[in-house]
Chain A
Amino acid sequence: MDTFASQSAERESLESVVIRFAGDSGDGMQLTGTQFTQSTALMGNDLATFPDFPAEIRAPAGTTFGVSGFQIHFASRDIMTPGDAPDVLVAMNPAALKVNLPDLKVGGMLLVNTGAFTAGNLKKAGYEENPLDGDDLAPYRVLKLDISKLTLASVEPFELSTKEALRSKNMWTLGLVMWMFDRERSETVAWLEKKFAKKPEIAQANIAALNAGHAYGETAEFPQGIGCYTVPKADLEAGTYRNITGNEATSWGVVAGAKLAGIRPVLGSYPITPASTILHTLANLKEHGVVTFQAEDEIAAVCAAIGASYAGSLGLTSTSGPGVALKAEAIGLAVATELPLLIIDVQRGGPSTGLPTKTEQSDLLQAVYGRNGDCPLPVIAAQTPGDCFYMAIEAIRLAVKYMTPVMLLTDGALANSAEPWKIPSFADFEPFPANFRTDPENFHPFVRDPETLARVWAKPGTPGTEHRIGGLEKHHDSGNISYDPDNHHKMTKIRAAKVAQIADDVPAQTVDQGDAEGDLLVVGWGSTYGAISQAVSACRASGLKVSHAHIRYISPLPRGLGELLKSFKRVLIPEMNNGMLIKILRAEFLVDAKGLNKIAGQPFKVSEIEAAIRSHLSNEPSE
């Protein structure tokens, strides 16, 4: 039947959908999710994604700990999170069903590959009985298909081995889901042709599977409740868009920021999850003058960056919490020698090795306080994947202007999640050229700018400004080593004052949503932005006097924050840690803030924050 027109006429229009693709690590779920994301972006929906993969590189096939998932939330309206519970779950094997079924919305759609429900796979997933047979799936709209068999049939003409042929089952599934949600296949076809350019028969087999899945949707009779849908375009601000992940945005922000400063970025880095893709991305941007150095360890990585800054480049290092711990002493050296340095901490679950592939916000106190001595430095945090671009530039601006290391906090959720991003024009950014001292007259290395308190930056190679610096305390007025007690007191105060007054150079704290006073202020930082924003929006829609403030500058805290906190009866601070920002705000402003803490390695659900807001507002504060 030639049905395209009639089919699309029958499509049910939905405002938003959350789909989770789940399968074994070897099933290609991340690729499936990424391709679905690409075509969804082209359809003009707003979207957010959350990839969730195991820490093991090759976990044993079929086990629950080898399950890999990719969730995408797309809508015809503005959305900010990858969604709470999926509306649609694609389970490619029993383990994926076991791990993900508890999250599926009651009444949600479940697509299972029955071909993978063999006795062996059921046992590996820990099922005593086949869940497809009993009543367990009754609350859902279930579509059981032997995707393995359907895939084999679709690629038969290519005479591949069974093992190879079965690899295409993710593309078959993608084809079907694309049909269900009215997505275009052309981009995926082009991508497959490029990816398998050297193995054209594999490319063609995958394309055949993709098309077969799509055709299956068009022709098959589905059970009650399974249909086809459309999600209209979102009303996005005019402009050119792309999908961007946090680590891409951070990397590109580094290149842009260094260009605005007029100096070469030199990255010293050591591989660590979830920060490594920053090293990979920057290593591939050599034509931008980026120097990347994969050092022998985390300490060498930051030390090389400090050496580069000393020599007049922009030294930077990318890492995660365990790496920041190792770098602490060297960061102190950069504080003591007052050199620009960018430290990017893509946070993950801790302590120790913790949960390398899961997200957390538990490096906050380490970032602000985690060094020996009184060792202040600016700490800033990005709140969305796209914001990483702007905050990387901002970190570089502060580092160069104030001659100080700056810590940029992102996290695993931002690092790997994609969102549509309105591409800025580079010409709109104000340059902040680095200012090198070349005049030997009255020079010493700790001559300060009276306004910024930044010391001069004289790079080796400049005649007449030869000088020695180091980690030993220096005399405030000559830069020579000094053990004088009063001088150390004075230098400690100067270093603190230099960082503290940066608050005058960053935007004052505002509310992101709601009034500047009311019953409850929800204060967040980092990647919780989307979830808090949507929860507050929902609560406000139901008449609650709740507002949302999101802190991007953590040290020093922005001007106006103290007054804002005191303008609300209550303050709620959701964090993906056991209570860190709350300690700082309580200490700084003596506010009786309450925490909402989730330390599960997963981002907040909107509903969790919404429930907390409602519960905090349901009983009036006792005065």
Chain B
Amino acid sequence: MTPLDPPKKLTRKDFVSDQEVRWCPGCGDYAIVAAIQRVLPKIGSTRENTVFVSGIGCSSRFPYYMNTYGFHTIHGRAPALATGVKLANPELDVWVITGDGDGLSIGGNHFLHLLRRNVNLQIILFNNRIYGLTKGQYSPTSLVGKKSPSTPLGSIDSPVTPAAFALGSGARFVSRAIDVDVKNLSAVLTRAHEFKGTGLIEVFQNCPVFNDGAFSHFTERATATETQLHLEHGKPMIFGKERDRGLRLRPGTLEIEVVTIGENGITEADLLVHDETNRAQAFLLSGLEPPLFPVALGVLFAAPAPAFEEAVLDQNRQAVELRGAGDIDALLRKGHTWTVGGDSQDS
């Protein structure tokens, strides 16, 4: 391509593959793939430089539907595999696609280490609080009491909160969105992509077949203004139809409480102001859920740090500067050598 031949402007269609989509009708995954296909051309992605890496599960079919590079790997291991892709070629734009079972159960270990290393890629966690592909068993994000084929009397183990787990693991970018909320989902996808390091996007995804309405207590449009808090850096945490409710720290504690502006002398100045770089505050926000609280959506935490793979390759560059580019013959003759017969004498 020459400078006279400017790159063709890509559109959503350029990112749609020729493969027939095989998710169940009404699955939240459709909305997510559509959002990505719309966002990629807007953020300047190219087909050849984009790689989708997934594990196993309904969501992990994702790469087949993208007309980019893609690798559908094995259960839970996509973060490790994607780390290898970035170590081989840091220039590639990598998106990891995972789910609550794939990423937090069988792949929990890799999820933790990907986040703490801060490999420069985006990871989208499709959380539907259920195993879909294996036909409806409860997952590590299912609520206690979840009846499923493997828990006929209800599940008894406590669920993990993905955002809290991520923050505890040392993640440097944690965000959340609802599958069908195109505007907010597109916004966090864009932010995660801009972020240098591991950008986690947890998507609350509805599985109409095995866990319909798992998140309806905050996704229902009619009540959304009361059950959702859309975070904005530097802005007070306000929600509610009348924009009169907010969050503040309960005085003298490390707990968040819901207050109403204008009641008991509360003004906007009393409310918590969102600070994306405050990990402790992000942790408090990650645990909020109706009925007592709204769910915090958007970017909970963003604190840039050097990307892992760049630091790794930097060490290679430094080694070359320090020792010169490696030479195999010199390597084989490093240390003690001796000569038998002939007349050449090494070291």
Which residue numbers of A lie inside 8 Å of B, CB to CB?
38, 41-42, 44, 187, 236-243, 252, 255-256, 259, 264, 266, 268, 285-291, 293, 295-297, 299-301, 303-313, 315, 329-330, 333, 337, 423-427, 459-472, 480-481
Minimal beta-carbon separation of B311 from chain A (angstroms): 12
Contacts A/B (CB < 8 Å), 24 sampled: A239-B342, A243-B336, A255-B331, A256-B328, A266-B84, A268-B80, A268-B84, A286-B319, A287-B319, A300-B113, A303-B74, A307-B53, A307-B80, A311-B88, A313-B89, A461-B91, A463-B48, A466-B68, A468-B63, A468-B72, A469-B70, A470-B63, A470-B71, A471-B73
CA distance A21 to B7 in the complex (A): 71
B263 at the interface (CB under 8 A from A): no
> Is the Cβ of B87 less than 8 Å from the Cβ of A308?
yes
B315 engages A286 (CB within 8 Å): yes
Write the chain A residue with the least CB distance to B68. A466
B233 at the A interface (CB under 8 A): no
Q: How far is the CA of A297 from the CA of B79 in the complex (A)?
A: 12
Contacts of B87 in A (CB 8 A): 266, 291, 293, 304, 307-308, 313
| B48 touching A296, Cβ below 8 Å | no
CB of B4 within 8 A of chain A?
no
| C-alpha spacing A255/B332, complex, angstroms | 11
Which residues of A lie under 8 Å from residue B316 when comparing CB positions?
286-287, 289-291
Contact of A239 among B48, B110, B341 (CB under 8 A): B341
> Known: A259-B328, A468-B17. Contact between A293 and B83, CB under 8 A?
yes
CA distance A255 to B326 in the complex (A): 10
In chain B, positions 68-101 with a C-beta closer than 8 Å to chain A are 68-74, 77, 79-89, 91-92
B135 contacts partner chain A, Cβ-Cβ < 8 Å? no
Contact B312 A293 (CB under 8 A): yes
Measured between C-beta atoms, what is the minimum distance from A564 to chain B in Å? 33
Q: Are A310 and B71 in contact (CB under 8 A)?
A: yes
On whether the beta carbons of A312 and B88 are closer than 8 Å, the reply is yes
Chain A residues within an 8 Å CB radius of B51:
311, 460
Complex Cα–Cα for A425 and B66 (A): 48
**Of the residues B324, B329, B338, B344, contact of A41 by C-beta under 8 Å:** B338
Q: Which of B305-347 contact A (CB under 8 A)?
A: 312-313, 315-316, 318-320, 322-326, 328-329, 331-333, 335-342, 344, 346
Which one of A293, A423, A427, A472 lies within 8 Å of B84 (CB-CB)? A293
Chain A's closest residue to B79 (CB) is: A300
User: Contacts A241-B339, A468-B69; is A287 near B332 (CB within 8 Å)?
Assistant: no
Q: Which 10 A-B pairs have the closest CB atoms?
A: A307-B84, A470-B72, A238-B341, A288-B326, A304-B84, A286-B319, A300-B80, A311-B88, A303-B80, A468-B70
A460 and B315 contact, CB distance less than 8 A = no
Given A300-B80, A303-B81, A461-B48, answer yes or no on A287-B328 (Cβ-Cβ < 8 Å).
no
Given contacts A239-B340, A240-B338, contact A460 B80 (CB under 8 A): no
Q: Which residue of A lies closest to B318 (CB)?
A: A286
Chain A residues whose CB sits within 8 angstroms of the CB of B19 once the complex forms: 468, 480-481
- Distance from A244 Cβ to chain B, minimum over Cβ atoms (Å): 9
Contact partner of A240 (CB less than 8 A), chosen from B64, B66, B318, B346, is: B346
Residue in contact with B64 in the complex, picked from A239, A309, A468, CB distance below 8 Å: A468
> Chain A contacts of B319 at CB under 8 A?
286-287
Neighbouring B residues of A481 by C-beta, 8 Å: 19, 64
- The answer for the CA separation of A315 and B88 in the assembled complex, in Å, is 9
Alpha-carbon distance A329/B106, docked complex (angstroms): 13
Nearest-neighbour CB distance to chain B for A256, whole angstroms, equals 5
Partner of B80, one of A236, A243, A304, A311: A304
Residues of the B chain whose Cβ atoms lie less than 8 Å from the Cβ of A299: 77, 80, 110
CB <8 Å contact, B92 and A311: yes
Q: Which residues of A contact B82 (CB under 8 A)?
A: 307
Residues from chain A with Cβ under 8 Å of B72 in the complex: 468-472
What chain B residues lie within 8 Å of A480 (beta carbons)?
Answer: 19
CA distance A427 to B328 in the complex (A): 10
**Closest CB-CB distance, B329 to chain A, in whole Å?**
5
CB distance from B339 to the nearest CB of A (A): 5
When the two chains form their complex, are residues A187 and B71 in contact, meaning their CB atoms are under 8 A apart?
no
Q: Tell me the smallest distance from the CB of A260 to a CB of chain B, in Å.
A: 9
Indicate the member of A425, A461, A463 with the most B CB atoms within 10 Å.
A461
Measured in the bound complex, the distance between the Cα atoms of B69 and A468 in whole Å is 6
Q: Which of B73, B79, B110, B339 contacts A333 (CB 8 A)?
A: B73
Nearest neighbor of A288 in chain B, beta-carbon distance: B326
Pick from B79, B88, B110, B331: contact of A285, CB under 8 Å: B331
Interface membership of B49, Cβ < 8 A:
yes
Q: How far is the CA of A240 from the CA of B334 in the complex (A)?
A: 12
Give me 17 other A-B pairs in contact (C-beta within 8 A), A291-B316, A310-B88, A468-B17 excluded. A238-B341, A240-B338, A243-B336, A266-B88, A286-B315, A287-B319, A287-B322, A293-B312, A303-B84, A305-B84, A306-B73, A309-B84, A459-B89, A463-B46, A466-B48, A467-B69, A471-B72
B328: chain A residues at CB < 8 Å are 252, 255-256, 259, 288, 426
Cβ contact of A44, chosen from B64, B80, B331, B338, cutoff 8 A: B338
Q: Which A residue's beta carbon lies closest to that of B67?
A: A466
Tell me the nearest residue of chain B to A267, going by C-beta.
B87
Which residues of chain B are within 8 angstroms of A237 by Cβ–Cβ distance? 340-341
The answer, yes or no, to whether B47 is at the interface (CB within 8 Å) is: yes
How many Å lie between the Cα of A248 and that of B203 in the bound state? 47
